[in-house]
Amino acid sequence: AMAAVSTSASGPTSWAAQADAADKLRRLAKEEAAAAEAAARKRRREETYAGYRSYVQLPNRYKEIADFLSRGRGYASLAMIGSRFKVKRKELATHGFLFSPADRHGQSYIAPPEEDNSQNEGGEGPLK
């Protein structure tokens, strides 16, 4: 009769404890991925912004997409935007939209171009 009783070191509650631990790990991994994505977005924005057009210069179709992104979280999946607005990544890239690196599912996220105030406010920042 003793053979049926669990003899593992973690005891009879191990299944629930393992499930909880797995959930915590998944949550942590998701938070880390989101933080890494945000950092990558910021880095990419800083690296590539110089060569891109500003929001002000966007044609209406792309302003509509930028406005849509700004109303939400400030970014959305490329698949969703592409499908909703019938637009390709290349078109968005030429209009200054910013992309995250692909996640482990191959999905990229897109953010609108920067709103450009820096050029019309003459040298207020440090010039060194």
Burial 90-108 (b: 16+ CB within 10 A, else e): eebeebbbbbbeeeeeeee
Q: What is the mean pLDDT of residues 66-87?
A: 92
With cut-offs at 50, 70 and 90, classify the pLDDT of residue 1: low
Residue 45: pLDDT over 80: no
Of 5-9, 69-73, 108-112, the poorest mean pLDDT is in 5-9
